C-alpha cells in the first residue's frame, strides 16, 4: 500500500507514480494523486519531497523540499 493523504476538505487521496519518456529521450518518474486506490501504480512519498495543497480547491501536488 502506498502513501495516502487526506486534504482539508476530508477527501482521501492515494499517491501513484509512473515512468514517462520525455521528448529528449530522458526517462522521468512522475507522481500524481487519485481518489481511488490503484495497487499497480501505488507509490510511497519519496525522500526529499513534500505534499502541497492548494487552499482554494484542495488539489494535492508533490514537490521537492526546500
- Kindly report, residue by residue over 1-45, the tens digit of the pLDDT: 799 999 999 999 999 999 999 999 999 999 999 999 999 999 999
* Model confidence band, residue 66 (pLDDT cutoffs 50, 70, 90): confident
Give the C-alpha separation, 30 to 51, whole Å: 14
Instruction: Give, for 39, the enclosing helix (H) or strand (E).
Output: none
pLDDT of residue 1: 76
Burial of 39 (0-12, 13-18, 19+ CB in 10 A): exposed
Please state, as a whole number, how many other Cβ atoms lie within 10 Å of the Cβ of residue 13: 21
Amino acid at each position: 500500500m502506498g502513501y495516502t493523504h487526506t486534504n482539508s476538505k476530508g477527501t482521501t487521496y492515494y499517491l501513484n507514480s509512473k515512468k514517462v519518456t520525455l521528448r529528449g529521450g530522458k526517462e522521468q518518474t512522475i507522481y500524481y494523486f487519485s481518489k481511488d486506490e490503484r495497487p499497480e501504480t501505488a507509490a510511497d512519498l519519496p525522500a526529499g519531497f513534500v505534499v502541497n495543497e492548494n487552499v482554494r480547491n484542495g488539489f494535492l501536488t508533490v514537490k521537492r523540499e526546500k
